[in-house]
Structure 1
Amino acid sequence: MGDGDRLEIDQVSKRYGDVVALAGMSFDVRAGELFGFVGSNGAGKTTTMRIALGVLAADSGEVRWAGEPITAETRRWIGYMPEERGLYPKMKVGEQLTYLARLHGLSAGAAGKAAREWTERLGVGKRWDDEVQKLSLGNQQRVQLAAALVHDPRILVLDEPFSGLDPVAVDVMSGVLKDKAAEGVPVVFSSHQLDLVQRLCDRVGIVRSGRMVACDTVDALRDTGSVQLVVDVPDAGPGWADGLPGVAVKEQVGSQTVLELGEGADDQVVLRAALATGRVAEFSRRRSSLTELFRNVVTEGEGA
């Protein structure tokens, strides 16, 4: 796969009557990249994914892969995991995965082999002859991921793949997504678990009201957040940082205070104030977490 094998969502818009679901949504997912797609409920993530897959038609805009508009043929190369799980409840796991692989054009032998490999890899090999409805929700999720992977897709589009998974299953799922990206597959997934997105993703797009409002590497996005200082002053009384110009107290736990510096605030002024209280056990800068940044970006829009 070359660098050109990227998935591009270009100025995609979608309305339902008076409701604007997407308004010029644009981003790309590069070959071999894990892209996290985050936003509040109703922000447009699922609509975007359904349009990429061709389940929904866009009112305007275009979805391209490797520089060409996605067609019915290229859609066969997408591995899709819908948020509302789409397995046949009364069908056996192995039968179902083999059937789905055949639908994507694999021969009977190749389909059965791929289904076996993915159930083993995802830890549900022993459930081969069980009906899907008899599985735990976590195991149903693993089978659903196997369904997205069984035809060896060249693009992965996963809607909330981590919801409801226990920590072991999260690790299994994360490992598979990293491996697919390492093979050069563009991987895009939505998630409300921002700590996971921060840990896994190369880039993140934050969606609000059908638009992409921030899109960059995790580190670059975190650098756009506010500057925070963690100060540990064991001998200070409460309120030692009150009244410092441009400084807000975010959090106080024991002798440790987290301060947020406004524009133009001087960390040296804070250091002098801390030293005036006695011993300073810690004085360090901290970047905003993705969760804090997300909250700021989303709330700014709601207040606008």
Structure 2
Amino acid sequence: MTKRYSEHTALNEVSLSAHEGRIFGLLGPNGAGKSSLIRVINRITAPDSGEVRLEGHPLQEEDLFHIGYLPEERGLYPKMKVGEQAIYLARLKGLSKSDAQQRVKEWFERLEITSWWDKRVEELSKGMQQKVQFVTTVVHEPRLLIFDEPFSGFDPVNAEVLKREILALKAKGTTLMLSTHNMQSVEELCDDITLINRAEVVLSGQTAEIRRAHGSHTARIVYEGEISPTDLSHLNILEHEEREYSKILRVQLQPEEELRSIIGQLPSAIHLQSIELEYPSMHEIFLATVQAK
């Protein structure tokens, strides 16, 4: 799809797919076009060309009841009480009053925030508000969830709670889209990613496959014991580091060489703790791809 604002092109023939029951990462630097895309998906704005399809059909107004959207900017009414507001927002998503009350209470108990029920939103911290808004986003059990910087404002403990809930939603078959700059969360959670830069898709695919494709075919070996220089002479050593309780070798492999062949070339006297292929982090891939554009 394409979206323009006057002379500015926010999305230039962007095409992507988020698959059912998987977690999709929408990545890109500030100003890349991510927010414009999210607004189009939520029918806040319309594309100049192209369309959004949900489960095979063009997205309609009534489909919005099956979408949950957690924006980065807080959208809660500061003077309203937390419980009252959560029920109100749940009812806007089509739940009856009794269903809304039941589901909100269940989520508050699950996240251990029942004590906030009668507090006003303005009394809550940024992270506490984010927890409440998470509940209002998922309470109607949408088929598609869109989270824009979901970990913003969370301390490490509550960030882990949110990750746990995201994975639980995925296990139930929910499709999730995460727009985030938190590359560690992308590696931990996202099955697939699309990277947008300057209004265009510059990288797309399964997260694991992308990391493998960007690897330099190096092995990281952790061992105990002694290896003489002679034992290493036939290996292409990139780094040899000694630590208090172990030693680390980084070895450059030949294009078709496998880890099992490296193991066979190591002295049998050493105690091999681990050996694995090294892959770049999503943070490194993000920087390299954006800077190359």
What TM-score bracket applies, with the shorter chain setting the length?
A: 0.7 to 0.9
Relative distance call for 1:95 and 1:45 in structure 2 (3 A) is same
Shift of 1:226: 3.2
1:239-261: CA deviation from partner (whole Å, max 9, x where unpaired): xx9xx8xx9x6998978575778
1:212 match: secondary structure: strand
Shift of 1:127: 0.3
Relative distance call for 1:155 and 1:251 in structure 2 (3 A) is farther
Question: Which deviates further from its counterpart, 284-293 or 46-55?
Answer: 284-293
TM-score by length of 2: 0.82
Relative distance call for 1:88 and 1:232 in structure 2 (3 A) is same
Relative distance call for 1:236 and 1:230 in structure 2 (3 A) is farther
Which residue of 2 is the match for residue 87 of structure 1?
76
Which residue of 2 is the match for residue 295 of structure 1?
287
Question: Which deviates further from its counterpart, 117-126 or 213-222?
Answer: 117-126
Q: Residue type of the partner of 1:76?
A: F
* Match for residue 159 of structure 1 among 116, 135, 148: 148
1:294 match: secondary structure: helix
8 Å contact kept, 2:191–2:208? no
C-alpha distance in structure 1 between counterparts of 2:57 and 2:160, whole Å: 34
1:258-304: CA deviation from partner (whole Å, max 9, x where unpaired): 5778x979999xx9xxx9xxx9x887531112111111111111xxx
2:91 match: secondary structure: helix
C-alpha distance in structure 1 between counterparts of 2:109 and 2:130, whole Å: 14
1:13-42: CA deviation from partner (whole Å, max 9, x where unpaired): 111222211111111111111111111111
C-alpha distance in structure 2 between counterparts of 1:150 and 1:103, whole Å: 11
Relative distance call for 1:264 and 1:185 in structure 2 (3 A) is closer
Which residue of 2 is the match for residue 140 of structure 1?
129
Which residue of 2 is the match for residue 3 of structure 1?
none
8 Å contact kept, 1:250–1:260? no
1:206-248: CA deviation from partner (whole Å, max 9, x where unpaired): 22112222222221010111313447899999xxx9xx8xx9x
Q: Residue type of the partner of 1:39?
A: G
Work out whether 1:211 is the aligned partner of 2:200: yes
1:36 match: secondary structure: strand
8 Å contact kept, 2:149–2:178? yes
Relative distance call for 1:260 and 1:226 in structure 2 (3 A) is farther
Work out whether 1:14 is the aligned partner of 2:3: yes
1:53-91: CA deviation from partner (whole Å, max 9, x where unpaired): 011111111011111111111112111001111111111
C-alpha distance in structure 1 between counterparts of 2:173 and 2:37, whole Å: 22
- Mind listing any 5+ residue stretches in structure 2 that lack a counterpart? none
Shift of 1:171: 1.6
Q: CA RMSD in A?
A: 3.2
- Mind listing any 5+ residue stretches in structure 1 that lack a counterpart? 1-11
Relative distance call for 1:250 and 1:90 in structure 2 (3 A) is farther
Which residue of 2 is the match for residue 196 of structure 1?
185
Which residue of 2 is the match for residue 185 of structure 1?
174
2:51 match: secondary structure: strand
1:29 match: secondary structure: coil
Work out whether 1:129 is the aligned partner of 2:118: yes
8 Å contact kept, 2:20–2:173? yes
Shift of 1:52: 0.4
8 Å contact kept, 2:25–2:192? yes
C-alpha distance in structure 2 between counterparts of 1:152 and 1:43, whole Å: 30
Aligned length: 280
8 Å contact kept, 1:25–1:212? yes
Which residue of 1 is the match for residue 65 of structure 2?
76
1:192-219: CA deviation from partner (whole Å, max 9, x where unpaired): 1111110111112222112222222221
Which residue of 2 is the match for residue 5 of structure 1?
none
* Match for residue 103 of structure 1 among 92, 100, 103: 92
Q: Residue type of the partner of 1:78?
A: I
C-alpha distance in structure 2 between counterparts of 1:83 and 1:236, whole Å: 55
* Match for residue 277 of structure 2 among 276, 285, 289: 285
Work out whether 1:47 is the aligned partner of 2:36: yes
4+ runs of 1 displaced by more than 6 Å? 231-237, 249-255, 263-268
Relative distance call for 1:284 and 1:71 in structure 2 (3 A) is closer
C-alpha distance in structure 2 between counterparts of 1:251 and 1:40, whole Å: 36
